[in-house]
Structure 1
Amino acid sequence: MASLILSNLPSSHLSLSYPSTSSSSSSREFHCFGQKFQSLKWVQFSKRNRRISIVSQKMSIDLDPVSSFLDPSVSSLKLKLLSAVSGLNRGLAASEDDLRKADEAAKELEASAGPVDLSIKDELDKLQGRWKLIYSSAFSSRTLGGSRPGPPTGRLLPITLGQVFQRIDVVSKDFDNIVDIELGAPWPFPPLELTATLAHKFELEGTSKIKIIFEKTTVKTTGNFSQLPPLDIPRIPDSLRPSSNTGSGDFEVTYMDSDTRVTRGDRGELRVFVIA
């Protein structure tokens, strides 16, 4: 059994261990804070920027050991949640049991860490940046709209969901949802790759709830058709918008540190993000 203890941190704060193997390409089982990560490709610690990179078959996560692991109990529960959602293809492959385990792990983390107070500037500033979605309970519905109406991901339409990001600017109050999508095409044509950016403004409601107001969608082709100009799809006027689609929504930030964020949406969606 080989083991790695990060220097300059108490050994109780971070311990990564794995069974020795003669093949460097074999998947390994890692233990961190007592949590088991299976089928990991590798775990790497960078002394230069003091970040841990955890890479599995389905997910890649970068963590900051200094800010994230100061409280061993919270850190253990955080890694338990990340372990529960790893390998679920952002929730698209989640079963009912997977949904239950992820929700229970999130509730344990939320209870241990305590409420988030975004009215404090230092806490609000943590929202700043580009966040990668690694899990959404709503994707188990097998649609790109989650619990809202949206195109299906399956055999009905040749749509493949790529990475999903949120880009947040706390100064300008910009809140962009960015989705990479691949549309299949009949042979011999290549698939159409595009990035859809759903631009919003956001405002804080209370201490932990965020309301977002939709403005427009910009679609940009990538890959073989990246030379095409972007297309802006403006917001539908309120008078023509269905009452079920107001263009706005809200969610509560239930856990956040410098590299991980957990939110619960207005329709019960549990989402987990890591800083990109």
Structure 2
Amino acid sequence: MRTTNTQAARRPNRGTALQWIVGVILTVGGILVVLPFVWMIFSAFKTEAEVMQIPPTLFPETFTMDNLRNLFENMNFMVYLRNTLIVVLFSFVGLFLNAMAGFGFAKYRFKGQNKLFLLVLATMMIPGQVTMIPVYLILNYSHLTNTMIGIVLPGLVGAFGIFLFRQFMSTIPDELLEATRLDGASEWRTFLQIILPISKSILAVQGILTFIAGWNSFLWPLIVANDEKLYTLSVGLSLLKGQYAGNYALQMAGSAFMVIPIIIIFVFFQRHIIENYSISGMK
């Protein structure tokens, strides 16, 4: 009896020790992953001499805003920021269109529905690099190259977004939609006031992906736009690295300016994703 009790007492202790070991390893790994980003952000407020200092410092000894001021006053980053925000705005318009298409495939029955959906899915197997030349030729024929419309139009909707919305909205009970229709609600009102609030979790996920794709848009704007006034932040950052390859403080400022909004958006939407998954689990 004593041996059995001793073994039973040791098992929780071993489990607790294992949890502590795993926790310490994950904490150290998380610090090692986050440390370069933290150093990059603080380096944006350092002088060039301090960035090149050996051994490096984490916090700036001389806090300066000259790097960020130089980006917006001399490097046209305000123009790049405006163009990037336009791309992001239209990307969210595309997110709304993807939600509408997913709702149509999930809750409406029409001739050729499954074949059309399979055709949409088939486009996911075609790499984007393959379609760039045909899309560019179509836009060039339509006189939309070197325009903001030509930059945002090809990425307005996507098969992956339609697929995610369709799969999620297929789980919404049809009885709920029938009840709203019996109450006299139109299809448009049903979609806005019933479907979208229920789909908050998938909207949060797609919102993160949409913002990241729009904020980091690089290759397509570089191909379509010949005028520097239409360049996005990613294109401007690549120009910065080419023209000021030796100015690391300026590059850190540009990189930090690109990364910080993505982190903020992800943290904000992550809270909503966790809340919605918790509610779904309780149900």
Common fold, TM-score beyond 0.5?
A: no
The structure with the largest strand share of the pair is 1
Higher helix share: 2
| TM-score calculated relative to the size of structure 1 | 0.23
Q: TM-score, normalised by structure 2?
A: 0.22
Q: Kindly indicate whether structure 1 or structure 2 has the higher relative contact order, using CA contacts under 8 Å at least 6 residues apart.
A: 2
**Greater Rg by CA:** 2
